[in-house]
Amino acid sequence: MNKLKSTIRIRENTRRRNFAIKLILLIIFEILYESERPLAPFFEQFVILGHVFRAVIFLLSSNLIISLGRFITLSLYLRHREDAKVQPNFVVGIDRIATILNVLALLISLMLAFGIRPLEFLTSITIVAAAIALLTKDYITNIVNGLIMMFSDQLEIGDKIQVGKHTGFIRDITLINLVLKNDSGEIVLIPNSMALSLDVTNYSKNNTHQVIFDFELSNQNELDLNSLETQLSQPLQDHTDLINSEGAHLYILERKSETLLLRFQFPLNSTARSTESQLIKKIDQALLHWNHERRQNQLL
């Protein structure tokens, strides 16, 4: 966690240097634009150049105000998080809001550069703006839901969650999608509106990390769940310092016409996630061994 805070501080120091450079440029442009000499006659002759100067001044001013607000917010946040957990979600959320505001400032600057007054322009396209809002309402909903998740402590980047039938680790929260990486390494994009409307299970909101192992078996023959659970729990006995084997349990997740979808789940110490892939391979091997013995007994 200290490494995360150190990385954030390094990025903030870089942004502070950029802030100083932008401030110097703003002062230079402001002096050139407001001064009666030597560029005032030039601006009167070339009106479009005056509009461009005005647009650049507005863009730099807006960016500096947004950056200043961001610096103050993150500084207060980090100061009150010296002995607590730093949420990467919060930093991501602040960055996303700053990006949205900077894009709006850029659009207004482009209007100013072409001599368009933003307020008059927005007033004249009220009907068009309403139509655009209706067409983009799904995107707006996703953006609002994404911001809600970014500033919430219920879901954090790095958590292992289940949304509907998808299970994986949260790799990023964008303004449109929740990015998951499942156990097979595939990237799953879930719309933010769906993530907040479906049931979400967070396996990382405790002192242990729940490892989930799903598999299918034929239901044509009698299945002894207790025997299978014992077989799958055997590889866990070698890691009693990391796993409470008594917390492992097997249950039927879904019944299909010819197969059963089963889930084997056990708690793993949250500091030992690097061993998760090794444990899953051992459980895979135990399942193959159990299935082989089952077929041999059926042939006898």
Q: What are the residue ranges spanned by the domains of the chain? A: 2-124, 160-202, 208-299
Separation of alpha carbons 216 and 260, rounded Å: 5
Domain 160-202 has CATH 1.10.3720.10: no
pLDDT score at 34? 67
Written as tens digits, the pLDDT of the chain (300 aa) is: 455 556 666 776 777 788 888 888 888 877 776 665 556 666 666 677 778 878 888 888 998 898 888 888 877 776 765 544 545 677 788 888 888 899 999 998 988 888 888 777 777 777 776 777 777 778 888 888 888 888 877 788 878 888 888 888 888 888 889 999 887 778 999 998 888 888 888 877 655 567 778 888 887 667 788 888 888 888 888 777 777 666 788 888 778 778 888 888 887 765 555 677 788 888 888 888 888 787 777 665
The answer to whether residues 279 and 239 touch, using CB atoms and an 8 Å cutoff, is yes
pLDDT score at 53? 79
Q: Per residue in 173-195, is it b (16+ CB within 10 Å) or e — as a string?
A: bebbbbbbeebeeeebebbbbeb
pLDDT score at 242? 74
Q: Output the DSSP codes for 215-266.
A: EEEE-SS---HHHHHHHHHGGGGGGTTTB-GGG-EEEEEEE-SSEEEEEEEE
pLDDT score at 270? 57
Query: Residue 229: which of 264, 255, 279, 253 has the closest Cα?
Result: 264
pLDDT score at 103? 92
pLDDT score at 106? 92
* Amino acid at the residue 247: G
Stated as kind and residue range, the H or E segment containing 21 is helix 2-34
Stated as kind and residue range, the H or E segment containing 200 is strand 200-202
Separation of alpha carbons 2 and 247, rounded Å: 31
Separation of alpha carbons 105 and 22, rounded Å: 15
pLDDT score at 244? 65
Separation of alpha carbons 171 and 159, rounded Å: 8
Q: At what angle do helices 47-79 and 88-113 cross, to 10 degrees?
A: 170
Separation of alpha carbons 160 and 168, rounded Å: 5
Separation of alpha carbons 23 and 31, rounded Å: 12
- 208-299: which CATH architecture? 2-Layer Sandwich (3.30)
Q: What distances in angstroms separate CA 142 from CA 38, 147, 165, one per listed residue?
A: 50, 9, 20
The answer to whether residues 252 and 216 touch, using CB atoms and an 8 Å cutoff, is no
